[in-house]
């Protein structure tokens, strides 16, 4: 599915020009530059947000293979989910649903046995990713459902606490590093408490997977929030900390055990070379299992 969607994103990006940009006179007419302004706000001439569908297509072409591969590594280690025939997933800050693409890969390669999938994604700005959501819906296997909820997770977890629905898997994909740039520290800490409480209310065997930049908040990441979340979980749990060797830098931070390999599991096709996609994994991960 990731190959099909990347092709559609590439076609849209290369056939539509950057007009009437929300960044107005600050628009560099280069979506990679706009993404840089989002990821490194100190470099931006003015505040920049995820509010452009063309930029979303560029984002998918540049990052999706790396992000999906990182989660394939993580999800493939969740032995408690491998034999399930029905899988429910809560994706927090789902963006372009690279966690769903990772699950689809594991389903197609026979690592996971689920036939039915119920996926709920919480996304602050779903309209930005709407073209990609449509692409996913048009290419999903039968008996899979995908629902995107437009909400700020800092507020919405309290709503979900009163819902009977509970996931088998909770996924946070590059959420904390983004929140570190755009949310008040008190809001992040409150969200962590709410998420820990929600996880405590889930069934035994539920997994929570955090995948993010292997950097502390001091350097623009959010890795400390992994440990903060773990410290607030009250239920009995098993946890694992992992990281990849970062081939793009001379050194990297150790966080738990290093994966034996950092090669991409799904590789971008040559047609995406103009986006300079990342060609190896480099994240830090926290996996918590309620037992």
Give the pLDDT confidence score for residue 219 in this predicted structure: 83
Residue 132 confidence (pLDDT): 98
Residues counted in the chain:
291
pLDDT of residue 186: 94
**Which fold is adopted by the domain 66-290?**
Rossmann fold (3.40.50)
Q: Which of 173, 23, 41 is nearest to 31 (CA)?
A: 23
Residue 30: per-residue pLDDT: 85
Residues of the chain with pLDDT under 50: none
Instruction: Report the pLDDT value the prediction gives residue 177, as an integer from 0 to 100.
Output: 92
Give the pLDDT confidence score for residue 60 in this predicted structure. Answer: 97
Task: Transcribe 79-141 into DSSP letters.
Answer: HHHHT-SEEEEEEET-TTTHHHHHHHHHHHTTS---SEEEEEEEES-GGGGHHHHHHHHHHSP
DSSP the chain: -HHHHHHHHHHHHHHS---S-TTGGG--S-HHHHHHHHH-GGG-SS---S--HHHHHHHHHHHHHHHHHHHHHHHTT-HHHHT-SEEEEEEET-TTTHHHHHHHHHHHTTS---SEEEEEEEES-GGGGHHHHHHHHHHSPTTEEEEEEES-HHHHHHHHHTSS---SEEEEES-HHHHHHHS-HHHHHHHHHHHHHHHHTSPTT-EEEEEE-S--GGGT--THHHHHHHHH--S-EEEEEEE---TTSS-----SEEPS--B-SSPPPGGGGGG----B---EEEEEEE-
pLDDT value, residue 235: 83
pLDDT at 126: 96
pLDDT at 252: 86
Distance of alpha carbon 132 from alpha carbon 5, whole angstroms: 7
């Amino acid at each position: 599915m990731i190959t099909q969607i990347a092709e559609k994103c590439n076609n849209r990006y290369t056939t539509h020009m950057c007009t009437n940009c929300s960044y107005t006179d600050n628009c560099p007419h280069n979506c990679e530059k706009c993404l840089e302004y989002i990821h490194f706000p100190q470099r931006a001439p003015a505040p920049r947000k995820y509010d452009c569908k063309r930029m979303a297509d560029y984002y998918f072409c540049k990052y999706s293979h790396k992000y999906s591969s990182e989660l394939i590594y993580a999800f493939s280690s969740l032995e408690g989910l491998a034999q399930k025939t029905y899988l429910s997933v809560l994706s927090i800050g789902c963006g372009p649903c690279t966690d769903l693409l990772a699950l689809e890969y594991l389903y197609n390669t026979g690592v996971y046995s689920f036939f039915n999938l119920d996926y709920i994604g919480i996304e602050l700005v779903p309209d930005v990713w709407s073209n990609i959501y449509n692409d996913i819906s048009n290419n999903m296997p039968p008996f899979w459902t995908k629902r995107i909820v437009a909400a700020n997770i800092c507020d919405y977890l309290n709503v979900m606490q009163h819902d009977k629905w509970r996931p088998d898997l909770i996924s946070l994909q590059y959420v904390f590093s983004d929140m570190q740039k755009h949310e008040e520290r008190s809001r992040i800490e409150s969200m962590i408490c709410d998420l820990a409480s929600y996880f405590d209310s889930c069934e035994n065997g539920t997994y929570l997977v955090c995948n993010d930049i292997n950097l502390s908040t001091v350097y623009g990441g959010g890795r400390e929030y992994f440990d903060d979340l773990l410290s607030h979980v009250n239920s009995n749990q098993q946890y694992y900390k992992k990281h990849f060797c970062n081939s793009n830098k001379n050194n990297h931070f150790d966080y738990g055990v290093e994966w034996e390999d950092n090669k991409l599991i799904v590789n971008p096709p040559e047609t995406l070379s103009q986006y300079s996609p990342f060609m190896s994994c480099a994240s830090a991960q926290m996996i918590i299992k309620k037992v």
